[in-house]
Structure formats: structure tokens, C-alpha cells
């Protein structure tokens, strides 16, 4: 998993509440267990018309938001079913941070496990950031996980809270497997002792 330290990028405004995981990645795209290739299906029902052509009114089909790395939304982002494909699709599109007043718990947890930083900020602040984002490519927003601040284009720093362990894991790019591999010497030592004491277990 790629570490998350400081991200400065284009933010896409999505002024919608209760964006569920079926909006993020519709169920018909869940046939794969691969984490790549899902970005083209992100928000498919909003991004594309019935004939498969792009919906020009949807923000991610507009410049400069095709290159968005930050998404700003309203309350209860990621509600609905507990599909891990939702953060996979966001990440594959290029989004590393979602800012919203609050998140559904399972989506919140899945985001951290996949290298996406979910930032909780009050609705009024999210609305301010959306107005900033509407200014386009020249109004980049910075998310500094080390300092735990979101920096507006005007330089204002907005602090946010995050669980210390999750902050540590993101800063160091550690998912569940990465955490386990940090214990590799202890695991190898245990196996060596067990192999000597109970060799039949390894036949």
C-alpha cells in the first residue's frame, strides 16, 4: 500500500449526501476481485448515459476534475452495502482522499485499509472547500496527514482529527499484510522453535 503523507491536488465537489456504495461502484461491476480497472466504472450510473456516452453534467467528466485526487461530499458518504470495491474504484480513478462531514463505518474502515484518507470536517467547512474546488485547477487543496490539516487555496489551515494508529499506518503505507510482515522475525523464530519441538507438524 502506498504511504499517504501530504497530498496537493485537484478537488472535485460532489454536493450530495448519502452517497451509497452502489452509487460509487454499481453491483454489476463486482464480478472481479482485481483492484485495478475499476476506476472507469466509478460512479458509472452518474458518469454515463444509457447509451454508454459520458454525461457532461457529472463533475468527474469535466476538466480539470478528470484528474481529481480529492473528493468533497456531504453527509453519510459510503453508506449501503459493505463492498470493498468502493475504495478500490476510487483509488483506481486516482482519488486518495475523501472529505465529508461523516462516513458510513464500514466504508470508513475499508478506506484506511486501502490507502485512502477519509477526513471528517463540519458541513459548513465542506461547503467552503467545495466553493474552493469550483475555482478549478488553480485552486488546489492540500491534505497534510503529518500535520493533520487541510490547507485551502488561500492558505487557511483547517485541522482534522484522526485515530493515531490509523494515522501511523497510512503514513507508513501499512495495510493488514504489511502489519503482519513487520512481525516476520518473530513469526520465523516461533516456527523454527516449533519445527524443532514438533517436527511432525511440518511433514
Boundaries of domain holding 143: 6-172
Q: Is residue 177 part of a domain?
A: no
The pLDDT of residue 178:
58
- In the chain, DSSP assigns E strands to 6-9, 11-14, 70-73, 97-100, 117-120, 141-144, 149-151, 157-159
CATH number of the domain that residue 49 is part of:
3.20.19.10
The pLDDT of residue 138:
78
Q: Is residue 113 part of a domain?
A: yes
Q: Is residue 198 part of a domain?
A: no
The pLDDT of residue 159:
98
Burial class (CB in 10 A: 0-12, 13-18, 19+), 185: exposed
Q: Is residue 76 part of a domain?
A: yes
Are 85 and 33 a contacting pair, CB within 8 Å?
no
Are 76 and 18 a contacting pair, CB within 8 Å?
yes
| 140-192 tens-digit pLDDT | 999 999 999 999 999 999 999 999 999 999 999 877 655 555 565 766 666 66
Quote the percentage of the chain above a pLDDT of 70. Answer: 92
Q: Which of 175, 22, 173 is nearest to 110 (CA)?
A: 175
Low-confidence ranges of the chain (pLDDT < 50): none
The pLDDT of residue 31:
84
The pLDDT of residue 164:
95
The pLDDT of residue 116:
97
Q: Is residue 158 part of a domain?
A: yes
**Total domains, the chain:** 1
Give the C-alpha separation, 73 to 127, whole Å.
9
The pLDDT of residue 203:
73
Q: Is residue 75 part of a domain?
A: yes
Q: Is residue 186 part of a domain?
A: no
Q: Is residue 52 part of a domain?
A: yes
- Non-local (6+) Cβ contacts of 182 within 8 A are 174
Amino acid at each position: 500500500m502506498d504511504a499517504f503523507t501530504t497530498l496537493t491536488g485537484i478537488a472535485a465537489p460532489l454536493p450530495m449526501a448519502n452517497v451509497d456504495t452502489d452509487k460509487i461502484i454499481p453491483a454489476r461491476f463486482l464480478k472481479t476481485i482485481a483492484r485495478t480497472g475499476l476506476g472507469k466504472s466509478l460512479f458509472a450510473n452518474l458518469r454515463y448515459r444509457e447509451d454508454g456516452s459520458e454525461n457532461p453534467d457529472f463533475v468527474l467528466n469535466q476538466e480539470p476534475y478528470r484528474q481529481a485526487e480529492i473528493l468533497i461530499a456531504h453527509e453519510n458518504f459510503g453508506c449501503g452495502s459493505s463492498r470493498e470495491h468502493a475504495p478500490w474504484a476510487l483509488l483506481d480513478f486516482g482519488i486518495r482522499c475523501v472529505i465529508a462531514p461523516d462516513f458510513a463505518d464500514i466504508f470508513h474502515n475499508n478506506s484506511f485499509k486501502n490507502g485512502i484518507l477519509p477526513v471528517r470536517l463540519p458541513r459548513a467547512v465542506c461547503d467552503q472547500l467545495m466553493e474552493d474546488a469550483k475555482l478549478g485547477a488553480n485552486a488546489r487543496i492540500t491534505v497534510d496527514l503529518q500535520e493533520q490539516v487541510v490547507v485551502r487555496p488561500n492558505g487557511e489551515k483547517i485541522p482534522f482529527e484522526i485515530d493515531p494508529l490509523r494515522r501511523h499506518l497510512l503514513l507508513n503505507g501499512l495495510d493488514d499484510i504489511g502489519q503482519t510482515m513487520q512481525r516476520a522475525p518473530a513469526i520465523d523464530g516461533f516456527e523454527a522453535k516449533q519445527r524443532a519441538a514438533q517436527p511432525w507438524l511440518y511433514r
